[in-house]
Structure 1
Amino acid sequence: MEPPPIHLDNAATSHPKPPGVAEAVARHLTEIGASPGRGGYVGTVQSQAVVDRLRSRLRRLCNAPGSDERMLFTLNGTDALNLAIRGLAMPKLLRGEPVRVVATDLEHNSVIRPFRTLETLGAEVVFVPLDPHTGAANPNQFAEALGPETTLCAAIHGSNVTGAVQPLAEFGAAAKANHVPFLVDASQTLGRIPVDVEAMQIDMLAFSGHKYLLGPLGTGGLWVRDHLNLMPLRDGGTGSMSELESQPECWPDRFEPGSHNTTGLFGLDAALEWIETQSIETLATRERDLHLKMANCIEATPGLHRLGPKAPTLGTFALQHDEYDSATFAAILDSQFHLHLRAGLHCAPRIHRQLNSDTTGGAVRLSLGATTPLDAVDRLAEALQAISKQELGV
């Protein structure tokens, strides 16, 4: 009998989901089926209550001050980052004002590509290089890249390739000292390790709902500090102020036209409830323990190399094997051993260039999660031993 597959690609999306998520999705689909803000009957009221509760849960999770209305739901993490970047920069570009944006070489394409689009419209784009020892941008270099003409600075919290964690509190202090809005991509960390927008002096926090928040695909969000205003990316029906032919000014409606992915938000609300019962600290400790065992397993395997910093990281590993290109190595782990890892450049070309893996097919990424089974280390060790001994099936 073949062993069950083990999902080791949680940096892409979490699996399996915790108890209660599938049930919440099914409840909305089979029992409620209504959209929030689109009527006053019982189903819409029930849906609105869940959506409102979820906003509050997310705001508390990242210690965000102010009103729940500043917690916006988006299509996903990429959509949230686009709203933050374009929403802040485009009004200045449309007025013919200079725009300068700063980020780090650790960023995902969800920041890099919007920045490059702004560049085609006349913006100046700056990327801060990484310290090879920490795998993160140096805080002093980050601060030096800022200045009074900078429109926005952005940083990913944790790398989706190497697991390196950036010193956000130091970045945030530099941004505040230079009066530059600070955007953080927390898609790899929110729900995984503590994130505190007050302590880190974050002005906008973007996140995915389906990664370490453990919710369904098609969910995400953006928290925006009270003093900032953004230009919406989309206009349309909001269920409010329908007499207006222009987009309403009130938050969150201004940024959430069209029907929500209410089914997905029900699942995300259930995932947040599970995270609250476990606590971030407990989940982080579990991953650290599994991370250490996995790192020891990898280091003990001849011909297998971990790319990136030796400094403490999240439970995300970028791997290369002496005998196989990354695509083949991942395919063997899948077909022969039912271990699901991702090969390639992971939508983060700048970090792969620093790792010198951009011209060799990238790396195989192994990423742990809150629901990774404890026998994953043993399964990987058995697979790596068999690969080393060439004990592969036909």
Structure 2
Amino acid sequence: MERPPIHLDNAATSHPKPPGVAEAVARHLTEIGASPGRGGYVGTVQSQAVLDRLRSRLRRLCNAPGSDERMLFTLNGTDALNLAIRGLALPKLLRGEPVRLVTTDLEHNSVIRPFRTLEALGAEVVFVPLDPRTGAADPNQFDEALGPETTLCAAIHGSNVTGAVQPLAEFGAAAKANEVPFLVDASQTFGRIPVDVEAMRIDLLAFSGHKYLLGPLGTGGLWVRDHLNLMPLRDGGTGSMSELESQPECWPDRFEPGSHNTTGLFGLDAALEWIETQSVENLASRERDVHLKMAKCIEATPGLHRLGPKDPTLGTFALQHDEYDAATFAAILDSQFNLHLRAGLHCAPRIHRQLNSDTTGGAVRLSLGATTPLDAVDRLAEALQAISTQELV
């Protein structure tokens, strides 16, 4: 009898979702079905109330000061990063002013590619290399890369490849000292480990809603500190100030044209409610316990190697096997053991170059989550033992 699948690709998207998420999605689809801000009847009011509550929950979860209106809903984490990066840099480029952008070699393509696009338009782009001892960028080198002409500095909080966590508080202090806006990609950490925009001196926080916030696909957000302004990337209907033919100036409407993914946001609100009842600290502790057991299992397997730092904070593993390329290894785990992992470069080519895995098909990524079943370690151990002894079908 085939054993049930185990999802070990939470760095791509979380699964299974916690209790209440599917029910909230179904409630909007089957009972409410209205778009917030588009009318004054019961369904629109109910939908608006959920979105307002969700903004507040997200702002509180990252300890953000100020108004809930600075917490913007986006299509996903990539959309949030594009809004932050282009929204700050494009106005300067359009005015013919110099633009300098600083980031790290750990970044996802959701930062690298917008930076490269702006570079083609005339911006200067600087990458801070990772320190192989820590798997993160060195704070002193990050500080040295900044300067008075830097338009924006950006850093991923936790690597989606190795699980290394960057020293954001030190990066943030350097950014503040140099008066440079500091953007953080928290897609791999928000909801997984504590994120505090005040302690870390973050000016813009971009995140995905469907990863460690445990909501549905198609959700994300961007928090922006009060003193910053952005150029919208899209214009259109907002349900407010419809007499204007130009985009309204008020937040969040200015940056949220068109109908929201209200169904998805209902699910994200339910996920946040579940996270609040569990606490991020408890969820991080649970993942850490599974992480340590998983690490021992991997270390005990002949021919299996973990790339990156020896003890990263996050339960994300980049693995290579002496006998199999990444794609074949992942395919065996899937087809014969019903374990779902991801092979490849994971949209992070620069870190794979630093790990010397870019020319060998990348690595197989195993990423834990808040709802990873406790028998995942035993299932993986059985699979690795069978692979090592060639006990394959």
TM-score, length-scaled by structure 2: 1.00
Task: Return the alpha-carbon distance in structure 2 between the equivalents of residues 54 and 224 of structure 1.
Answer: 16
Give how far 1:110 is off. Answer: 0.1
Give how far 1:310 is off. Answer: 1.3
Give how far 1:313 is off. Answer: 2.3
8 Å CA contact retained: 2:70, 2:251: yes
Q: Deviations over 1:8-62 (max 9, x none)?
A: 0000000000000000000000000000000000000000000000000000000
4+ runs deviating over 4 angstroms: none
Give how far 1:312 is off. Answer: 3.1
Q: Deviations over 1:201-240 (max 9, x none)?
A: 0000000000000000000000000000000000000000
Task: Return the alpha-carbon distance in structure 2 between the equivalents of residues 281 and 255 of structure 1.
Answer: 32
Task: Return the alpha-carbon distance in structure 2 between the equivalents of residues 133 and 318 of structure 1.
Answer: 16
8 Å CA contact retained: 2:307, 2:320: yes
Task: Return the alpha-carbon distance in structure 1 between the equivalents of residues 274 and 380 of structure 2.
Answer: 28
Task: Return the alpha-carbon distance in structure 1 between the equivalents of residues 311 and 261 of structure 2.
Answer: 39
Task: Return the alpha-carbon distance in structure 1 between the equivalents of residues 366 and 375 of structure 2.
Answer: 15
8 Å CA contact retained: 1:133, 1:311: no
Q: Deviations over 1:155-200 (max 9, x none)?
A: 0000000000000000000000000000000000000000000000
Identity percentage of aligned residues: 94
8 Å CA contact retained: 2:156, 2:184: yes
8 Å CA contact retained: 1:162, 1:313: no
8 Å CA contact retained: 1:159, 1:165: yes
8 Å CA contact retained: 2:162, 2:312: no
8 Å CA contact retained: 2:318, 2:365: yes
Task: Return the alpha-carbon distance in structure 2 between the equivalents of residues 296 and 254 of structure 1.
Answer: 50
Show the 5 A alignment for 1:1-394: 1-392=1-392, 394=393
TM-score, length-scaled by structure 1: 0.99
8 Å CA contact retained: 2:238, 2:256: yes
Task: Return the alpha-carbon distance in structure 2 between the equivalents of residues 306 and 313 of structure 1.
Answer: 14
Task: Return the alpha-carbon distance in structure 2 between the equivalents of residues 44 and 81 of structure 1.
Answer: 29
* Matched position secondary structure for 1:233: coil
* Matched position secondary structure for 1:83: helix
Give how far 1:2 is off. Answer: 1.1
* Matched position secondary structure for 2:137: coil
Task: Return the alpha-carbon distance in structure 2 between the equivalents of residues 192 and 172 of structure 1.
Answer: 20
Q: Deviations over 1:259-291 (max 9, x none)?
A: 000000000000000000000010000000000
Q: Deviations over 1:270-324 (max 9, x none)?
A: 0000000000010000000000000000000000000001143200000000000
Q: Deviations over 1:79-108 (max 9, x none)?
A: 000000000000000000000000000000
Unmatched 5+ stretches in structure 1: none
* Matched position secondary structure for 1:122: coil
* Matched position secondary structure for 1:140: helix
Task: Return the alpha-carbon distance in structure 2 between the equivalents of residues 246 and 109 of structure 1.
Answer: 32
Task: Return the alpha-carbon distance in structure 2 between the equivalents of residues 148 and 310 of structure 1.
Answer: 36
* Matched position secondary structure for 2:131: coil
Task: Return the alpha-carbon distance in structure 1 between the equivalents of residues 312 and 233 of structure 2.
Answer: 38
Unmatched 5+ stretches in structure 2: none
Task: Return the alpha-carbon distance in structure 1 between the equivalents of residues 132 and 311 of structure 2.
Answer: 10
* Matched position secondary structure for 1:9: coil
8 Å CA contact retained: 2:69, 2:252: yes
8 Å CA contact retained: 1:80, 1:222: yes
Q: CA RMSD in A?
A: 0.4
